[in-house]
Structure 1
Amino acid sequence: MEEIVRLHDVTKFIAGHEVVSNVTMSVHKGEIYGLLGPNGSGKTVIMKMLTNLVKPSYGTIDMFGEPIKASSYQYLSRAGSMIEYPTFYEKKTARQNLQLVSEYMGYYEPTAINEVLEWVQLEQVQHKPVHTFSLGMKQRLGIARAMLVKPELLILDEPMNGLDPSGIKTVREMFQMMNQEYGTTLIVSSHMLSEVELFADRIGVIKNGKWLQEISMKALKEENTEYIEILTANQKQACFVLEDVLQLSNFKALHNNTIRVYEAGHRQNEITQAMLDHHVEIEAISKKYKSLEEYFHQVLDQEKAQEEE
């Protein structure tokens, strides 16, 4: 797949302290990439390097196939970003702030401002000065500003900070809409792992500036299947099929017509076919995975154990 962003052995020192250490990371065109890590792990520094606000001490960063240099600004019109808490002209209205960005970027699409205000559900307050906005409203306005020019790449640092559950859902759906309808590539850092799990295609994990893992959500699920759950009214016959036909022993029949199979690996199709062959009606069958949060803490715990050896 085409790489739209590539970091190769990137290291960053700030005040003599190594805050990012030999990070190699890639983001493919058209995907949503979740950048995960504890507070102070280096996520924001990486975001700042991607937007040319901070220069790497060592290593290279390519964007749109070209290396980012101190003088590289031509790619900025192709990328939108929100790093840390967004700032605005507080006395100006939400709409006026977006108009200033549009003029600065030379982007004069007549419907663009109306669209992004509607996307972030601020159209009803667009003529109010920003200093009257709550933290969550400013966060949504910052996302609207980043999306204004319909960029090829969106770089968003903790975009869900300060949002209530309704706002979080709105933002998640916006990400998916931008990705699916406009083909926008997104890099999103967040500590809300349950949300990242809902929209990310791939994730990268960083801790104390050290790159720990990069994996697709599809691979993560395939490698971390905990059990297969079967819902059937004919539980006794289903257990017979599992034990005598498929030679499985590590399963448990629950009281609610549910069976959990713990040793099936990727054999869901085989189980389904065996049940059909033996006339066992299945109401539902599905794989249950470790959550992203469980996987994230597993990766951190493994790193901690290695450090203690």
Structure 2
Amino acid sequence: MMESMGDLLKAWPSGKAITEQAELKLTELLAEPLVEKLRLKYPDLDDQTIRLNLNRVYQYVTEYRNCTNCPGLDNCPNDFEGHYTLLSSESLNGLTQLYDRKVACKKFNARQTEDQIRSRVRSFYIDEKALQRGYSLDEILESDRERTKAVGQILRYIDRTKENGLQEEGLYLAGRFGTGKTYLMCYLLHELAKTGYSGVIVYMPDFVEDLKSLMHEPGKLKETVEMMKETDLLIFDDMGAENLNPWVRDHVLGAILNYRMQRKPTFYTSNYELDALEQHFSFTSKDGDELHKGQRIMDRIRPYVEVVMVKGENKRGRK
């Protein structure tokens, strides 16, 4: 890496306007292809102006070299991470001025865009790595071709939403443990967050347990429920694996789903198909078999989802 111009200047003898070392550095800079291009663009840019702006020109060339051999955004050696110096020149009344400005590089812009996308997605009890990793449908298809139909349904849903706006109907992903249902839902959230939609994904077993403690914190409970009501895309992950009680089923889950019906789409992943989920909702740990309560909650789910059967082998835990 080139030493800084400031270090060079400190090393030069004092009392001389331009030393041999400075002249050598000037000669080197004038021979740089980047400086030659700059002078072609701004014909009034003469040697004297470059001499007077030696530090700016040196930084311009150095940062260009750094970007050409970019070590990655986290290791950016430029003064302002993710930015490089651009020079421009202007002549007025026979006087030529050189101006510099900082410009964000493609990697910095990409990170900013990714940060904006992630800021639109909230998660409850979902491993953050699942949301922050890169998403590749090629990867999930190549590992198991049985998922092709499910992936196609999800891609079509994403396209419909991008073309026509937020849908009333969500998706219900059913399939065995470890077949990639959560991954597919995170992919959907990520793709639609790019379009500007907000999303919340909730891991149901842990969420239900936490709700029991929130019973004693009405303010926090109301804030959580309101967020789930209002978010554009709501995903309940691993529905059916939670240990339900009547209050959670009827007053929390029921209230959220009742509000979102015909307003905003709700999505689910589950090891159960819809009929089996209805049985799960009809039996709670405290009050036994309650068929009508199970049917009531299913009336808020079944008509508002497209079922996606996610087939394939259990990939969980494999390397």
TM over 0.5: no
More helix by percentage? 2
State the structure with more CA Rg.
2
More strand by percentage? 1
- Whose relative contact order is higher, 1 or 2, with alpha carbons under 8 Å and at least 6 apart? 1
